[in-house]
Amino acid sequence: MIVADRKKVPEIRDMIKNHDRVLLVGCGTCVTVCMAGGERETGILGSALRMSLKLIGRGNVVVDECTIERQCEDAFVDALAPRVGDYDAICSFGCGAGVQALAERFPNTPVYPGLNTQFIGILESQGVWTEKCAGCGACRLGEFAGICPLTRCAKRLLNGPCAGSRDGKCEVREDLECGWQLIYDRAKALGILDTFEVTATPQDWSASLDGGPRKVVREDQCIAGLGPKA
């Protein structure tokens, strides 16, 4: 899932300072699962924001909330469209993709981000999410016993650990598992340590963000005769 966390109320209040009618828009997908921008969190934030505005003498600002199933898919944004004209700004509680999808759909309405989008990750334990994939565009998990060195080694090393690993922890942060210790332990358990005797090839970063914003086109999923949308 895409993992995000919420901006602080004063920061959101500051972002919308030039507006009198603001619609807070939650998203029902990834950010709901990571408890950052779903219906519940958007409702709580709405109450906190109204209170905060009142405290600085701006209690006249209208702050309403709504949540749609997915902000990153235009068909779901249809449900929001009839309401947008009633507001002079939107604060999105979707991930960065959702915020930009709303900005594209509503070119005359300022759209602000209510969340800080963090990473692609998993729920590690209740209330704790950890990063697992940097979206490099050329997945190499098959070479590294299913553990991503690009994401989980702080130095993105592809040919074994640095000299800083101690007791399985990374030298960058005490609470961080050394990615290469994890790779080693799992490869040993799988009996594939010998596959690491060859030098790993450099990563092709042109498949990542370094090659500019990326696009996936699935011709088999495009509507016949219309081709991929540019």
Contact status, residue 19 vs residue 110, Cβ threshold 8 Å:
yes
Shortest spacing between CB 171 and ligand SF4, in angstroms: 5
Shortest spacing between CB 205 and ligand SF4, in angstroms: 10
Sites for ligand SF4 among residues 77-136 (CB under 6 A)? 133-136
Contact status, residue 67 vs residue 88, Cβ threshold 8 Å:
no
The residue type of 35 is: M
CA distances from 61 to 80, 88, 170 (A): 20, 11, 48
61/141 with CB nearer ligand SF4: 141
Contact status, residue 42 vs residue 26, Cβ threshold 8 Å:
yes
Strands 62-68 and 21-27: parallel
Among residues 3, 53, 148, 183, the one that binds ligand SF4 under rule CB under 6 A: 148
Shortest spacing between CB 76 and ligand SF4, in angstroms: 26
Distance between CA atoms of residues 158 and 143, nearest Å: 10
**Site mask, ligand SF4, residues 162-181, x = CB under 6 A?**
x-xx----xxx-----xxx-
Shortest spacing between CB 143 and ligand SF4, in angstroms: 9
| Binding of residue 140 to ligand SF4 (CB under 6 A) | yes
Calculate Rg over the CA atoms of the chain. 22
Per CB under 6 A, residues contacting ligand SF4 are: 133-136, 139-141, 148, 150-151, 153-155, 157, 161-162, 164-165, 170-172, 178-180
